[in-house]
């Protein structure tokens, strides 16, 4: 066999797996359906849909994908480096409740078990505290003071190289073994792709070092089938079927390997495994697709009306406010000129049914026509707008399954259905709007259909003590198959209530630590 392991996807779990397996002596191939992006390849603004959005049907092969289900709209990343290309760099550690709830809670003392792996993840991702606050962050600080919780406001810990703005220097992280880096200039464009080589995306740490160790990366290709060789449990290896993902004429290939690591994120891994459970991998647990979590998020935009402010300056998420024991709020921004989101935003309203919300939308337009005219036609949306990212640790779950057309659909599994109209979120939007003299809008799907958005979809292949309670064991091994692992957001088995990238990285580090070195 030419390769020992094929890794399906190059996000946080896949990148960690690529480096650590290659260090253990294994020959590794990473298969990524998205493109390779260098700094100059990223769009200058999100008006460049071809480079920003992943919509293959329209020949758009960018870094951000929007997937809409009945109960949730999901933003995810595509490209070599996965979600790190489009995420907001933020690396918080979850509170204790995360480690003590969900299907994994009885499998280990996770909070203590994972401490060294969180430490290593922070080192590898170049985590540091945001050194500079700008108008959007100062608005959140003022809001915290207005609410009497100023002690709960803080700058974020982020995966960004600050250095000297725009100055290139030798690798600052890996004793010269990594690539050159340039200091952040606080342009705010992290989520459309960093054009200045300051964002610590995975192609600048884990994947870069993995390649130096001999790992290979096959971009613009996707895995569509995995079949055990000879023995049903895969103990003699697998045949992995791959096809091109960006060409009209698909080139197919078959590669034999010892093991497979699924790291395509929830939307990639769960969708593929649901398909394979009906054909090549029938022994997969019936829990597959269950315990999907949205992090109980809401995304609401607030546009300031004061002309002397510039809310696009800073890093994508520069500050955080822990509003109570279960919730927190972050300020998200786009770089100046990235105004495309305004095309799908409507006045922010809440209500129990779509008719009442439609009346409220019309009423807001009629009551404040000048303010909304400025937002949509005069002021630059990104320059004047922040997105309030609200998250909760309170738990509810969805279930993903395949319909007759082979597409994933969602149903409510436990708890209440996700909603964009969380009372705590509504109160915080009102408080922030007052703090910056602003007007609030939200994604049209939230306002019209009541479907909330999330950038942090999790679960679907969670940990359990056996196939009746999970899809994978505590070491990320897939029940029913040998040398097969799930290492990405699908493995997250409880609600972290914070940006999950650091936790995915830490759990991936632990999973790789359980795999022995390749025998010679």
| 200-to-127, 179, 194, 277, 397 alpha-carbon distances in Å | 9, 11, 9, 36, 31
The question of whether 252 is a catalytic residue gets the answer no
| 267-to-26, 67, 76 alpha-carbon distances in Å | 27, 9, 8
- Using alpha carbons, select from 260, 211, 229, 255 the residue that is nearest to residue 2: 255
Q: Do residues 400 and 270 lie in contact, with contact meaning Cβ atoms separated by under 8 Å?
A: yes
| 203-to-146, 207, 212, 246, 488 alpha-carbon distances in Å | 42, 5, 12, 20, 17
DSSP states of 218-279 as a string? Answer: E-SEEEEEEEESSSTT-TT-EEEEEEESS-SS--EEEEEEEEEEE-SHIIIIIHHHHHHHTT
How many CB atoms are closer than 10 A to CB 348? 25
Q: Do residues 239 and 248 lie in contact, with contact meaning Cβ atoms separated by under 8 Å?
A: no
Query: Crossing angle of helices 12-23/501-513, nearest 10°?
Result: 30
d(CA 136, CA 387): 9
Provide the pairing of β-strand 327-332 with 385-392.
antiparallel
DSSP states of 477-499 as a string? Answer: BBTT-SSEEE-SGGG--S---S-
d(CA 511, CA 506): 9
The first and second tokens of residue 2, run together, are 């030419």
d(CA 415, CA 509): 31
- Using alpha carbons, select from 382, 296, 482 the residue that is nearest to residue 46: 382
Catalytic residue annotation? 456
């Amino acid at each position: 066999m030419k390769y020992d392991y094929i890794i399906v996807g190059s996000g946080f779990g896949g990148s960690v797996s690529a480096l650590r397996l290659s260090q253990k002596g294994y020959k590794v191939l990473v298969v990524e359906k998205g493109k390779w992006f260098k700094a100059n390849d990223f769009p200058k603004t999100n008006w460049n849909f071809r480079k920003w959005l992943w919509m293959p049907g329209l020949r758009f092969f960018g870094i951000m994908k929007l997937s809409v289900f009945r109960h949730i709209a999901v933003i995810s990343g595509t490209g070599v480096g996965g979600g790190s290309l489009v995420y907001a760099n933020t690396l918080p550690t979850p509170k204790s409740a995360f480690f003590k709830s969900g299907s994994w809670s009885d499998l280990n003392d996770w909070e203590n078990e994972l401490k060294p792996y969180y430490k290593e993840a922070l080192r590898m991702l170049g985590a540091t505290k945001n050194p500079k606050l700008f108008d959007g962050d100062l608005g959140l600080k003022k809001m915290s003071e207005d609410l009497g919780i100023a002690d709960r406001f803080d700058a974020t810990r982020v995966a960004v190289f600050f250095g000297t703005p725009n100055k290139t220097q030798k690798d600052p992280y890996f004793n010269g073994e990594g690539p050159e880096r340039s200091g952040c200039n606080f342009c705010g464009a992290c989520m459309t792709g960093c054009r200045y080589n300051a964002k610590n995306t995975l192609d600048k740490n884990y994947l870069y070092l993995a390649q130096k160790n001999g790992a290979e990366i096959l971009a613009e290709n996707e895995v569509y089938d995995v079949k055990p060789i000879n023995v049903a449990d895969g103990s003699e290896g697998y045949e992995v079927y791959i096809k091109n993902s960006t060409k009209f004429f698909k080139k197919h290939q078959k590669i034999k390997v010892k093991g497979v690591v699924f790291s395509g994120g929830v939307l990639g891994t769960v969708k593929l495994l649901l398909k394979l459970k009906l054909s090549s991998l029938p022994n997969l647990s019936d829990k597959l697709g269950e315990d999907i979590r949205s992090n109980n998020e809401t995304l609401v935009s607030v546009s300031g009306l004061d002309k002397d402010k510039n809310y696009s300056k800073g890093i994508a998420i520069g500050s955080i406010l822990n509003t109570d024991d279960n919730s927190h709020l972050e300020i998200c921004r786009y770089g100046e000129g990235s105004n495309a989101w305004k095309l799908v935003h409507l006045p922010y309203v809440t209500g129990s049914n779509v008719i009442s919300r439609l009346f409220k939308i019309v009423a807001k337009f009629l009551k404040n026509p000048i303010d909304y005219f400025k937002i949509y036609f005069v002021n630059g949306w990104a320059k004047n707008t922040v997105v309030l990212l609200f998250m909760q640790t309170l738990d509810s779950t969805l279930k993903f399954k395949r319909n007759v057309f082979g597409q994933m659909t969602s149903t409510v599994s436990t708890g209440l259905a996700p909603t964009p109209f969380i009372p705590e979120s509504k109160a915080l939007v009102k408080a922030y709007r007052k703090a910056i003299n602003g007007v609030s809008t939200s994604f049209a799907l939230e306002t019209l259909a009541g479907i909330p958005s999330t950038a942090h979809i999790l679960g679907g292949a969670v940990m359990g003590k056996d196939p009746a309670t999970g899809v994978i064991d505590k070491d990320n091994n897939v029940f029913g198959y040998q040398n097969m692992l799930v290492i990405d957001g699908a493995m997250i088995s409880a609600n972290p209530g914070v940006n999950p990238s650091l936790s995915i990285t830490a759990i991936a580090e632990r999973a790789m630590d359980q795999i022995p070195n390749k025998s010679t």
